[in-house]
Structure formats: structure tokens, C-alpha cells
Amino acid sequence: MNTSVMLFSPPITTPSIFPLPKTHHNRTSLPSSRKQHQGRIHNTRKFGNFLDLKSEYQPEALDFDLPLFHPSDHTCFNVIIIGAGPAGIRLAEQVSLYGMKVCCVDPNPLSIWPNNYGVWFDEFEGLGLEDCLDKTWPITSIYIDDRTTKYLDRCYGRVNKRKLKENLVKGCVFNGVRFYKAKAMQIEHHEFESIVVCDDGVDLKGSLVVDASGFGSKFIEYDDHKVKNYGFQIAYGVLAEVDAHPFDLDKVVLMDWRDSHCRDGNAKSSTFMYAMPFSSNLIFLEETSLVSRPALSHTEVKTRMVARLKHLGINVKRVLEDEKGLIPMGGPLPRIPQNVIAFGANSGVVHPSTGYMMARTMTLAPIVAASINQCLGSTRMIRGKQVYANVWNSMWPIESRISREFYTFGMETLLKLDLNETRQFFDAFFELKPYYMQGFLSSSLTLNDIVWLSMSLFAHASNPSRFAIARKCPELLAKMMGNICLEFIK
């Protein structure tokens, strides 16, 4: 799970030398959610360390003629978007639908994103993006421990990064978006205009600047009194050719918490495995630390993955692609409002409890674009502080900010739990009604829904799990309530 969406939407990669058929499965009847997992684990064999194998993947780029901005053109854009990742390209496409002049700034606007994504099929289908999934699994499985396996009747898909970017770039070109190949170095703000200074000395002028350049952005400001107490999700994954593997081809493994392969060290800083089987000998495997503070080292995660694969009897013959990632989760939102609009990873949109981001970013883009159009596309031509406030609040209305406090509370709770308590938590969580479970994972629950989810989760929890939460979380609960009060006071 890489620099995008971890836990429930981990990134994955598939090189073109192994094209995958586009398959969408029909729903099937499910086994009991508590059916005991039987005899799928092979005896441990010494296969050697697959980490010594070199990844065969080569970076790719689209072959596309982009309409480029020329420095001699003194156009003043309505919107300048920094970054041509999923967030930036999606927003550029949506804003340009309103006929506004948009410029997207990126050193390599046609490069295929290094981050890869797995998503829930119904979310991409709702966005009209289901044709950008090149592989789906009708059933999702979760291994709580060696005795308990959960099965979800919810289809999961692998995003075809090339197809998604190609579709979004085509939309941008059709709508008249201009591209400029450079790195944004500085932003200067005036009363009704901002200037983006690029590394080649060229100045781009626009009414509004959106920073969609990711976690490492230097243009987004935070309130000085807020501590950036992030949790970190870390992962290492490989798309591998293997002799064989023990997983069903119609099921994605969302989480495998079994740890019979671990001698020690997993109880307090536990990891799980995520697996996408494409065929009997092609599979994506990823070892993930759900959330930790400080972050678990990549070396430790890799070591655990080697031990797990040996225990499962999986012999890696070739590494077609490898991937490692570190995702900051939770922490404070940027200062709202401010002169630069954050969008994507740097806007706080990453789900604090799960790492989900892709589908939510795709969903927010039309909302933010509509807000921009209401200001810059109106006959009144609203600019300056009012446009900043309107656009920020379209992305983070008060209810969404309060909901995020609850999701952050969920992350902080997970940080307090040991392995057995984490297992008990997910044992209860995956027994929730689909409406609440899916709404939580998608950040789509109302405040009333969140109250009912909390009550339902506590009701489904085992007595030891209730005791652990009651014992470890009063301070976290008090902090959450304090933050919610502050949001209402603003």
C-alpha cells in the first residue's frame, strides 16, 4: 500500500508485459462469515529472500499531444492547478467543463502516476469511472485470525492508472485546459490575482491557485497552535510471478491478520497482508502497517513479508514491480480558509482511519469545481478572500470537519490497541450493517449515522474489546469532543 490509499484501498501496480483481462464478476452467494479457514497454509519451505530479485518495471508516460502554454502568451487564467496527479487532473477536467480558463503546471504532465489504487467497484461506478477498472473481484475476504474469516459481498477493483489518466487528460484537452511543463517554486498573492513563479523563471497569472501536488507541498499553511500528530501507514508490496499461491481467484484479500509466521514483535506493532490474485501464478502481495506512531520501518515490514510468504508456501520467481509507501494519516486540517486551495492528499482528504483517498478525491472534484464556477464564472466575478472562503467551505463544510474528528478518533483508538484488540475491533466492525460499514469507509456518513454506527459497533464488540476501548480511550474521546466544540465556535 503506497503513497495514496492504504488499508482499504492499497496501491498496486501492473506492468504492461502482463496485461490483465477486463473482468467484472457477477455477485455470488457467500460462505458464512465465521467459516473456519481450513488447510490452506503450506508447510514452511526455505525459498530464499525474494527481496534480492530486481523489479522489472519501467516508468511509463502517455503518448499524447498536449496544448501547452507559451510564455509569450500573457493569458490570465481563471484557475492555475499545481500538479498533474489524480487530484489535479480530475479537478482541471471538472473546472474546465464550465468554460473557464485553466492551466495545469507539472514538470511531467504525461507521466503515469507512481501511485496505484484499489477501490470499491460501486464507488467508481457511481462516478461513471468503472471503465477505468481492469480487474474486479466479487468477494472481499478478511482473515481475522487462524480460525475466523469474514466475507463481504462487495466488489473490489484494481484501477488501471493509464486508462484513468488518459480519460481525464482527454477531457482536459477537449475542454481547453492548457499545460505548462515546469515546477512551481513560489506563489505571490495580490488583492485579486495570484502569480505562480516557475523554476524556469516564467510567471503564470490567475484568479485562483489550487495546490494538488501532494503531501510534500510547501504552499499550504497550518495554524501554528495545531500539532501535526500524524499516524503513519507504511507498506511494501510486489506484483510477482509465483509458482503458486493459496488464494481464491474470485476473492481479494483485504486484510490478513494471521501471524503464525511471526516469532515475536507483532503483538504491539502488528502488520497484515493484502493480496490481489490475478491468476494462479500472478499476484499482488503487500505487507502493511495499518497505522503507527512513529512509523514502522520499511526494513521491518519487508522482513515480515518474507516470513509470511515462506509460511504460506509462496515462492516468488520474478518481481514484476515493487512498491513501498508511507502515508501520513489524521493530523490537523490546513488553515481554513487561506489564499491557496489545497486539493487531494495535502487537503486532509485522506481517511484518517483507513487511508482511503482516491474515490473521495474523484467525488469532491465536481463539488469544488461547482463552487469555483459560482464565484469566478458568475457575472459578479467574486474574487479574493470571498472566493477562498467559498471554495474551502465547499470541500470542508462544518459537518465534514466534525465527521473527520470522529474518523481521527478511530485512528487514535487503533493506535492504542494491540494485535488481539485490533482483531476484536475488526471482528465487530465487519459485522456492521453494510450501510454503516460502507459509509464509514467512504466518509459519507451523516453525523446522525456516525452516532448510530458508534452504538452498533459497541453492541457488536466482545466484552474484552469493550473493556479495552473503555480503558484506553476516555482521553481520546475528550479530545475529540473538545475539537468538535472548537469547530462550532469558529
CA atoms of 157 and 314, how far apart (whole Å): 23
Per-residue model confidence (pLDDT) at position 124:
97
Domain contains 48: no
**Helix H or strand E encompassing 255:** strand 251-256
- Same domain? For 182 and 105 the reply is yes
pLDDT, one tens digit per residue, over 277-328 is: 999 999 999 999 999 999 999 999 999 999 999 999 999 999 998 888 889 9
SS3 330: strand
End-to-end Cα spacing for the chain: 36
In the DSSP assignment, the letter for residue 192 is S
**Last residue in a domain, options 362, 382, 397:** 397
Cβ neighbours around 248 below 10 Å, total: 13
Domain contains 66: no
**For each of the chain's 490 residues, which pLDDT tens digit applies?**
443 334 444 444 444 444 554 444 444 344 444 344 443 444 444 455 788 899 888 888 999 899 999 989 988 999 999 999 999 999 999 999 999 999 999 999 999 987 778 999 999 999 999 999 999 999 999 999 999 999 999 999 999 999 999 999 999 999 999 999 999 999 999 988 999 999 999 999 999 999 999 988 999 999 887 788 999 999 999 999 999 999 999 999 999 999 988 766 676 789 999 999 999 999 999 999 999 999 999 999 999 999 999 999 999 999 998 888 889 999 999 999 999 999 999 999 999 998 889 999 999 999 999 999 999 986 667 888 899 999 999 999 999 999 999 999 999 999 999 999 999 999 999 999 999 999 999 889 999 999 999 899 888 888 888 888 888 887 887 787 887 777 777 6
C-beta separation of 336 from 65 below 8 A: no
CA atoms of 142 and 133, how far apart (whole Å): 22
C-beta separation of 179 from 103 below 8 A: yes
Q: Which residues contact 57 (CB under 8 A, 6 or more apart)?
A: 13, 15, 239, 320, 321, 322
Domain contains 137: no
Structurally, the chain folds into a number of domains equal to 2
Q: Is the dihedral of CA 353, 358, 359, 361 positive or negative?
A: positive
Nearest CA to 252 out of 283, 208, 215 is that of 283
- Same domain? For 407 and 485 the reply is yes
What's the grid cell of residue 21?
483481462
- Same domain? For 447 and 387 the reply is no
C-beta separation of 211 from 219 below 8 A: yes
C-beta separation of 134 from 158 below 8 A: yes
pLDDT, one tens digit per residue, over 402-453 is: 999 999 999 999 999 999 999 999 999 999 999 999 999 988 999 999 999 9
- Same domain? For 217 and 82 the reply is yes
Domain contains 49: no
**Helix H or strand E encompassing 241:** strand 230-242
What's the grid cell of residue 161?
492508472
C-beta separation of 14 from 117 below 8 A: no
Domain range for 434 is 399-489
**Last residue in a domain, options 347, 372, 397:** 397
Where does residue 164 rank: exposed (0-12), middle (13-18), buried (19+ CB within 10 A)? buried
Place of cell 477537449: 174
- Same domain? For 431 and 344 the reply is no
Domain contains 283: no
Cβ neighbours around 481 below 10 Å, total: 12
- Same domain? For 412 and 456 the reply is yes
C-beta separation of 236 from 298 below 8 A: yes
C-beta separation of 254 from 9 below 8 A: no
- Same domain? For 419 and 384 the reply is no
112: CATH: 3.50.50.60
C-beta separation of 334 from 220 below 8 A: yes
**Helix H or strand E encompassing 324:** strand 316-330
SS3 199: coil
- Same domain? For 388 and 409 the reply is no
C-beta separation of 407 from 443 below 8 A: yes
**Last residue in a domain, options 348, 376, 397:** 397
CA atoms of 216 and 140, how far apart (whole Å): 33
pLDDT, one tens digit per residue, over 58-97 is: 888 999 899 999 989 988 999 999 999 999 999 999 999 9
Domain contains 142: no
Task: Kindly report whether the global pTM for this prediction surpasses the value 0.85.
Answer: yes
C-beta separation of 463 from 412 below 8 A: no
Q: Is the dihedral of CA 365, 368, 372, 374 positive or negative?
A: positive
